[in-house]
Amino acid sequence: MNKENLKVMQEDNLKVLLEKLGLLEDLNNGKIKCKFCKSEVLFDDIYGVFPESGSVKIVCNKPECILQLMEYLRKGKTNK
């Protein structure tokens, strides 16, 4: 069976990565917004992160945003 990789990160490790990306402080101060719904995102609200055009995009765990993310990724895969 062909398998698709699904990259995941444990919470503690994600915090380390966000610090390296220079986002942890802003995240703790409520300055980071979800790519799709534009609402404030705290660490507990994060669904996933991905790079785009040199910056880091964060997606919150609202169902609508997750589905929008999947649609966004689907279009991205199609365009490759």
Nearer to other proteins, 25 or 64 (CB): 64
Asked whether position 80 contacts other proteins by CB under 8 A, the answer is no
Longest distance between any two alpha carbons in the chain, whole Å: 44
Least Cβ distance, residue 53 to other proteins (angstroms): 10
Cβ proximity to other proteins: between 31 and 67 the closer is 67
Helix, strand, or coil (residue 17): helix
Residues in Cβ contact with 15 at an 8 Å cutoff, skipping those fewer than 6 apart: 24, 43
The contact pattern for other proteins, residues 27-46, with x = CB under 8 A and - = no contact, is -------------------x
